[in-house]
Structures are given as C-alpha cells and as structure tokens.
A and B are shown apart, each in its own frame.
Chain A
Amino acid sequence: MKYLVMIHSNARFQERWEGLSDAERADFGHAHLRLRDELAASGELVAAEALADPGLARRVTRTDGRTAPVAPGGDGPFAETKEHLAGFLLVDVVGEERAIEIAGRVPDAVWGLVEVRPVLDMSQWDG
C-alpha cells in the first residue's frame, strides 16, 4: 500500500522555526535525514522531496490548447492560501498503521503539520 506523507507549513510554523536555536534546527534536519535513510534501507521509500518556496509556484491553466502559467499572488484562488505543502514522503508500506507511525516520526509532526493520505490503488477491485 502506498501512502503520501505530506508535510505542511504555514506562517506560524515559520515564526516557531525562527525562534529555534541553531542546535535545535540541526536536530530537526538530522531527524529528517535519519528517517529518510531508514525508510530507504527498509525498502519502504518510493520518493521524498522538500519543495521550494510556495512563492515560486506557478498555477497552470489551459485554454484553447494553450498553456498559460500564472504566478501566485495575483487573482488566483491560491493567493489566500495560508497553509502550503512544504515537502512529502511517498512510502510503500504494509498498511495504514505503519504509514501513521512514519508520519509521527517526521519532525514537523510535533507541530501537527503532517498528514497521511492513502494512494488510490488502480488494481484492487473485483466488482
């Protein structure tokens, strides 16, 4: 079963982050790396990435067959977004319990910013 472990961020998180000592920030980063290494070693990691600043996001629309990327901050619905995706882990694990256990080990979970979502399985159905 694949699960996407989403790490969210928001303005309050930024404030808390800035309030941390250098040592605390280093611990945070090391905990991320450790988790990633462990999941790679156990054969559960499919992909893991940290995303660049949401200010660099481009909303894409397609009209009359032409693609038009729009920068955020304009009139788009994303301008009001308070929470954004900061990174993710895609894992392939035994079941939801294990996915939740992994999510709980993401350092950001202490601030309640981690979410687990099952990936739709395109094979399992015998209607």
Chain B
Amino acid sequence: MSGVEPVETALRELAPAVLGVLVRRHRDFDACEDALQDALLAASRSWPVDGRPANPTGWLVTTATRRLVETWRRDAARRRRESDDAARAVPPGDPAPGRDDTLALLVLCCHPALTPPAQVALTLRAVGGLTTAEIARGLLVPEATVAQRISRAKARIAAAGARFAEPSPAEREARLPAVLEILYRIYTEGHTASAGEDLQRPDLGAEAIRLARQLHGGWPGHGEVTGLLALVLLTDARRPARVRADGALVPLAEQDRRRWDRAAIAEGVALLEGVLPVAEPGPFQVQAAIAAVHDEAPTAEETDWHQILGLYGVLEVLAPSPVVTLNRIVALAMVEGPRAGLERLDDLAPRLEGHHRVDAVRAHLLERVGERAAAVAAYRRAAQRTLSGPEQRYLARRAAALA
C-alpha cells in the first residue's frame, strides 16, 4: 500500500461490481468471493507493471472466472457441472454490473444470521475488497481469527439459504438499518487513537466513509443513507484535533477547532440540508444534525445547546437508549444549568443505573455546581467503570485535578 495506492483504490472501487457479476452468473458466493480475492491480488501485481486494462471490470471478471473454473476442475465432486460452467465462463462481451450490486452485497454480508463481528469482517472483505491480513490489522486481532470469522460467516449464509439478488424496495427498506449500523460500526472500529501513523494498519474509518459514499451513490436522495454519510464526514472532520501527540484523546470542548477539516464539514452540512426537509427522519440524520451543530460552533462556548437539546429529544423518540438519554441530560444542563441536569439524572437513575456514563455525567455536573468532594468520588467511580482506555485516563486526570 505504498506506491501502488491508486491501483489499490481503483480495485476496491471495482470489487462489489465484479463480485455482483460473478455471483449472479455462478451463484456460489463463497467460491466467487475467493476467486475475486485472487483476481484483485493478480491485478495489484500486474496492473502497475503492464498498465491498466481498457476494461478493468471485464479484466477482473475474466481473471476471477478463470480461477473459478480452475477450482471446479480440481474439485472432483463438481466434475459433472464443469462443462456447463466452463461454457458460461467466457463472458459474452462486456459484463454488465447490476445497478444495486453494492447494496445487494451489503445486505448479504449483514445477514441477520451473522453476529456483528462477522458482518464487519465479511463486509470489509466482500464489499471493501480488503485482504484478510488487512482486516486483521485494522481490527487488531490475529489473521487466523478473521479468516475463521469470514469462512464461518460464508457457511452460515449458505446454510441460511440466503441468495444474492437485487433487493426489492420493501426488502431494501427492511434490511437497510442493519447495513447502516454495520458501516457505522466499521467507522467507529477504525477510530482508534494511536500516537504516530501506523502505516501497516489500514484506515477502517476511511474505508467506512468510502463504503458509505458508494452506497449513497446508489441512493442520493435516501434520508438515512445520506444521514450516515453526513454523520461519518462530520465526525471525521474533527479527527485532526482529536488526538494529542502523545496519543491521548482530546474531548470535544478542548479541541483546537482550527484543525477541523472545513471541507468535510461543508460537505456533511450540504448533504444534510439536501435531505432533512424532504426525507423521512431517522436516527442517522438526527445524529448527523447534532454533529453539524457542534462542527459549526466557532468555539465550545458558542455551541447552540438549545438546538442540540431539541435534537436529542427527537433522537430519544426515534432510537431510545440510555446513552441518548444521558446525552440529552448533558445538553439540558448546558441550557438550564447543572442543577437541573442533576435533578433529571436523579429522576432517571433507576432506568440508567449501572450504565458507566452515569457517573461521568454526574461528576461533570457536580464539578460545575462546586461540590468538589462529591465530584471527585463520582469521577473515580466513573474511571473504574468505563471500558474505554482514553476515557479512563481522562476521568482519572479530572479526579486528580480536583482532589
């Protein structure tokens, strides 16, 4: 992934279309996906040397098909089908990629029979065109773990009888939330803070943005598809200010906003403005709108908390969760003051108890009303309970500063 970067990028763009053609023609998703990986590898070796073919999709389909035929020839059990498949194998003219191949593949990879970690791995490979080794480095797990996850996922899909087909409009709407959820998960998995660039580690955040863009290319007017793309762009815009040189994460209020990516913010805001007035509202659009309000504030103090409070109210109706409720309380405390926030926190305590962020929010509010001892205790409790390393360090630092 150094000097050949443009070829790698081009290949990943082509991957879903090529896989779509292969699976529609030969059906066997597992074998087609393996053949695609071989073809991508062959292209990454020969294109930089021999130059890119005039018809890159056709080249990849032909190469992958040859691999498929070779596999079948070796497979004695399939001998009887071999002649038919070999006959079908030579593409008659240009292969025509299906319009909805990317979504059809995403729907297949996010099949409900699979666990989210399996959905993530399969999506990165089949739709993203990443190798097993790249996915493993991206997810920080051994390559063998990812390889097993992918082969188990393919077996599950086959056992569930799932077929590759362009989803009907009704299916598309039914399966889209799971697809968007997985793309967002890939984005957050790739969000890891690290001191210095790890050149060996593929940027899963950038990969998620690319996939969201590809999906959006097929449905430019779809509210939630657009909402997801806007959300990842508006969140990613803060990335340059998110990590200190020592690798520690910087909280939103303390970030140097001059380092935010203005172009990404402008793109995210424009996307949102295009769909918000016309599309059916959904959780990704609302979360993107909240991110946009933060991104458009020149300083943390100038944040429009009234608007954020209203948006969290909407989000709580569309996608209720303890995290959303806690964030609404944070916004409420910014609008009505920390006492009001603490009261709401007490009211909702039974519903939120046990959630690790309750103590963190309580600690911040106690600090703001000047109850230092109670704030220190709450910060320490929060630091003990969080599963996030950067948050743990941050909370311990706040406790130490006040104690």
| Chain A residues packing against B (C-beta within 8 Å) | 1, 40-47, 92-94, 118, 120-127
Contact = CB atoms under 8 A, between A and B. Distances in A.
Nearest to B235: A126
| Contact residues of B: prevailing secondary structure | helix
A80 to B, nearest CB: 25
Contacts of B387: 1, 118, 120-121, 124
A43 B189 contact: no
Contact of A43 (B118, B191, B388, B394): B118
B375 interface: no
Given A41-B148, A43-B152, A44-B145, A127 B249 contact: yes
Contacts of A120: 387-389, 392
A121 B141 contact: no
B307 interface: no
B142 interface: yes
Contact of B149 (A43, A124, A125, A126): A43
Contacts of A118: 387
21 contacts: A1-B387, A40-B144, A40-B145, A42-B149, A43-B117, A43-B146, A43-B147, A43-B149, A44-B145, A45-B148, A92-B141, A94-B116, A120-B392, A122-B194, A123-B188, A123-B191, A124-B188, A124-B391, A126-B235, A127-B251, A127-B390
Contact of B141 (A46, A123, A124, A125): A46
A122 B148 contact: no
B192 interface: yes
Chain A binding surface SS class: loop
Nearest to B327: A126
A68 to B, nearest CB: 29
A127 B252 contact: yes
Nearest to A47: B142
B115 interface: yes
Contacts of B116: 94
B193 interface: yes
A121 B388 contact: yes
Nearest to B242: A126
Interface string B107-130: 000000001111001000000000
A123 B390 CA distance: 7
B390 A122 contact: yes
A123 B117 contact: no
A67 B58 CA distance: 61
Nearest to A91: B145
Contacts of B147: 43
B117 A121 contact: no
B180 interface: no
Given A41-B152, A123-B193, A93 B389 contact: no
Contacts of A46: 141-142, 145
A93 B118 CA distance: 10
Contacts of A42: 148-149, 152
Contacts of A92: 117, 139, 141, 145
B150 interface: yes
B193 A43 contact: no
Given A43-B152, A46-B141, A46-B142, A122 B192 contact: yes
Nearest to A123: B192
B389 A94 contact: no
B357 to A, nearest CB: 10
A41 B191 CA distance: 28
Nearest to B204: A123
A47 B140 CA distance: 12
Contacts of A124: 188, 191, 387-388, 391
A1 B250 CA distance: 23
Contact of A127 (B118, B145, B391): B391
Nearest to B190: A123
A95 B123 CA distance: 20
A26 B115 CA distance: 33
Contact of B117 (A41, A47, A94): A94
A56 to B, nearest CB: 26
Contacts of A47: 142
Given A122-B193, A123-B189, A43 B148 contact: yes
B132 to A, nearest CB: 11
Contacts of B146: 43
Contacts of A125: 249, 388-391, 394
Interface string B134-159: 00000101101111111011000000
Contacts of B388: 120-125
A122 B145 contact: no
Contacts of A93: 117
